[in-house]
Amino acid sequence: MLQGVFAAVLTPMREDLSVDRAAYAAHCRRLLDEGAHGLAIFGTTGEANSLSVAERVSAWDDLVADGIPADALLPGTGACALPDAVDLARAALDVGAPGVLALPPFYYKGVSDDGLFRFFAELIERVGDDRLRLFLYHIPPMAQVGFTPELIGRLLDAYPGVVAGTKDSAGDAARIERLCREFPDLTVFAGSERFLLDTLRWGGDGCISATCNVTAAQSRRVYDLWAANDPAADAEQASLTEARTFLEGFPPIPALKAIMRARTGDDVWANLRPPLDALADPTALLARVANHGL
Amino acid sequence: MLQGVFAAVLTPMREDLSVDRAAYAAHCRRLLDEGAHGLAIFGTTGEANSLSVAERVSAWDDLVADGIPADALLPGTGACALPDAVDLARAALDVGAPGVLALPPFYYKGVSDDGLFRFFAELIERVGDDRLRLFLYHIPPMAQVGFTPELIGRLLDAYPGVVAGTKDSAGDAARIERLCREFPDLTVFAGSERFLLDTLRWGGDGCISATCNVTAAQSRRVYDLWAANDPAADAEQASLTEARTFLEGFPPIPALKAIMRARTGDDVWANLRPPLDALADPTALLARVANHGL
Tens of pLDDT, residue by residue over B20-62, are 999 999 999 999 999 999 999 999 999 999 999 999 999 999 9
Instruction: Decide if A50 touches B, using CB distance below 8 A.
Output: yes
The pLDDT confidence band at residue A266, using thresholds 50, 70 and 90, is very high
What interhelical angle do B21-34 and B212-227 show, nearest 10?
30
Instruction: List residues of B with catalytic annotation.
Output: 137, 167
The ipTM of this complex is 0.97
- Model pLDDT for residues B64-82, shown as the tens digit of each residue: 999 999 999 999 999 999 9
pLDDT at position B155 over 90: yes
**Catalytic residue (choose from A24, A109, A159, A167):** A167
Of B84, B111, B115, the CB nearest to A52: B84
- State the Cα–Cα distance between residues B257 and B267, nearest whole angstrom: 10
- State the Cα–Cα distance between residues A218 and A242, nearest whole angstrom: 11
With b meaning 16 or more CB within 10 Å and e meaning fewer, what string describes B77-101?
bbbbbbbbbbbbbbbbbebebbbbb
Return the number of other C-beta atoms located less than 10 Å from residue B193's C-beta.
30
Q: What integer pLDDT is reported at residue A221 of this predicted model?
A: 98
Q: What integer pLDDT is reported at residue B293 of this predicted model?
A: 85
Say how many CB pairs under 8 Å bridge A and B: 118
- State the Cα–Cα distance between residues B230 and A71, nearest whole angstrom: 71
Nearest CA in chain B to A126: B16
Return the number of other C-beta atoms located less than 10 Å from residue A271's C-beta.
19
- State the Cα–Cα distance between residues B114 and A14, nearest whole angstrom: 20
B209 pairs with which residues across the strands? B7
A208 is in an annotated binding site: yes
Mean pLDDT of A252-263: 98
Q: What integer pLDDT is reported at residue B6 of this predicted model?
A: 98
Mean pLDDT of A23-50: 98
Q: What integer pLDDT is reported at residue B206 of this predicted model?
A: 98
3-state secondary structure labels for all residues of chain B: CCCEEEEECCCCECCCCCECHHHHHHHHHHHHHHCCCEEECCCCCCCHHHCCHHHHHHHHHHHHHCCCCHHHECCECCCCCHHHHHHHHHHHHHHCCCCEEECCCCCCCCCCHHHHHHHHHHHHHHHCCCCCCEEEEECHHHHCCCCCHHHHHHHHHHCECCEEEEEECCCCHHHHHHHHHHCCCCEEEECCHHHHHHHHHCCCCEEEECCHHHHHHHHHHHHHHHHCCCCCHHHHHHHHHHHHHHHCCCCHHHHHHHHHHHHHCCHHHHCCCCCCCCCCCCHHHHHHHHHCCC
Return the DSSP state at A3. Answer: -
pLDDT at position A78 over 80: yes
pLDDT at position B280 over 80: yes
B245 is in an annotated binding site: no
Q: What integer pLDDT is reported at residue A263 of this predicted model?
A: 96
Output phi, psi for A66, to 5 deg: -90, 10
Mean pLDDT of B148-153: 98
Alpha-carbon dihedral sign for residues A7, A72, A119, A82: positive
Instruction: Choose the mutation target among A18, A42, A58, A84 for the interface with B, i.e. most B CBs under 10 Å.
Output: A84
- Model pLDDT for residues B195-218, shown as the tens digit of each residue: 999 999 999 999 999 999 999 999
The pLDDT confidence band at residue B239, using thresholds 50, 70 and 90, is very high
Nearest CA in chain A to B85: A52
- Model pLDDT for residues A42-62, shown as the tens digit of each residue: 999 999 999 999 999 999 999
Q: What integer pLDDT is reported at residue A294 of this predicted model?
A: 85
A137 is catalytic: yes
Of A50, A122, A141, the CB nearest to B80: A50
Whole-number percent of chain A with pLDDT over 90: 99
C-alpha closest to that of A73 among A111, A107, A99: A99
Between chains, do B50 and A116 touch, taking CB under 8 Å as contact? Answer: no
Between the CA of residue A174 and those of A108, A147, A233, B278, what are the distances in Å? 27, 15, 21, 34
- State the Cα–Cα distance between residues A196 and A201, nearest whole angstrom: 9
B251 upstream amide cis, omega within 30 of 0? no
Domain ranges of chain A: 4-230
pLDDT at position B182 over 80: yes
C-alpha closest to that of A254 among B24, B118, B287: B118
- Model pLDDT for residues A126-185, shown as the tens digit of each residue: 999 999 999 999 999 999 999 999 999 999 999 999 999 999 999 999 999 999 999 999
- State the Cα–Cα distance between residues B8 and A180, nearest whole angstrom: 44
Residues of A in contact with B52 (CB under 8 A): 53, 81, 83-84, 87
Q: What integer pLDDT is reported at residue B24 of this predicted model?
A: 98
Residues of B in contact with A271 (CB under 8 A): none
If you average pLDDT over every residue of chain B, what do you get? 97
Give domain A4-230's CATH number out of 3.20.20.70, 3.40.630.10, 3.50.50.60, 3.30.1360.30.
3.20.20.70
Q: What integer pLDDT is reported at residue A1 of this predicted model?
A: 74
Q: What integer pLDDT is reported at residue A29 of this predicted model?
A: 98
